[in-house]
């Protein structure tokens, strides 16, 4: 069984993330979307809230689940018997950082392979940080995030 993990902060989940999730779900026997619980990043939503938003958004995507983890990603992979890491590449500037991560993860866990997926062109420039900033400033972000995420962002940044 080929189990893949798609890790990230997902603060918040965007349609770009959802596109990667759909693509990865077709490639592997099981996909786990894993929220990194890293308080140093000062997320807008708690890990539990992010997992809940992802679970709502992935309803109907077969063999896909969501959870959270803290600590080393490779330990999370081992706990889930996963050997594949999914990473999204949006723009060329993502590559250097992602290649460094893939190299470190391979050194820490030889059996892990990193698979890079690109989102659809329509989501290529969608970034969670931009979505949060737009929402904070009162702009509608409905075009960038699933409905449940949009509602939570509206509540978070009520004006």
Show Cβ contacts of residue 43 under 8 Å, excluding neighbours closer than 6 positions. Answer: 9, 11, 50
State pTM to two decimals: 0.94
State which fold the 3-156 domain adopts. Answer: Rossmann fold (3.40.50)
For the chain, domain boundaries: 3-156
CA 71 to chain centre: 16
Handedness of CA 22, 37, 126, 57 (dihedral sign): positive
Read off the pLDDT of each residue in 34-50 and give the average, rounded to a whole number.
91
pLDDT at 53 over 90: yes
- In this prediction, residue 47 has a pLDDT band, given cuts at 50, 70 and 90, of very high
pLDDT tens per residue, range 60-117: 999 999 999 999 999 999 999 999 999 998 877 778 888 998 999 999 999 999 999 9
Closest-CA residue to 18 (of 67, 57, 66) = 57
Q: What is the mean pLDDT of the chain?
A: 93
- In this prediction, residue 29 has a pLDDT band, given cuts at 50, 70 and 90, of very high
Question: Residues with catalytic annotation?
Answer: 17, 41, 90, 128
């Amino acid at each position: 069984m080929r189990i893949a993990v798609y890790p990230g902060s997902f603060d918040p989940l965007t349609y770009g993330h959802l596109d990667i999730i759909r693509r990865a779900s077709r490639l592997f026997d099981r996909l786990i979307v894993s929220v990194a619980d890293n308080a140093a990043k000062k997320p807008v939503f708690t890990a539990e809230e992010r997992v809940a938003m992802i679970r709502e958004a992935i309803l109907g995507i077969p063999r896909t689940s969501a959870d959270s983890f803290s600590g080393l990603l490779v330990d999370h992979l081992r706990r889930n018997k996963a050997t594949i890491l999914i990473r999204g590449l949006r723009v060329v500037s993502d590559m250097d950082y992602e290649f460094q991560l893939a190299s470190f993860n391979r050194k820490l866990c030889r059996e892990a392979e990193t698979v890079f997926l690109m989102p659809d062109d329509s989501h290529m420039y969608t970034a969670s940080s931009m979505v949060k900033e737009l929402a904070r400033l009162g702009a509608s972000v409905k075009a960038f995030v699933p409905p449940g995420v949009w509602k939570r962002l509206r509540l978070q940044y009520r004006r």
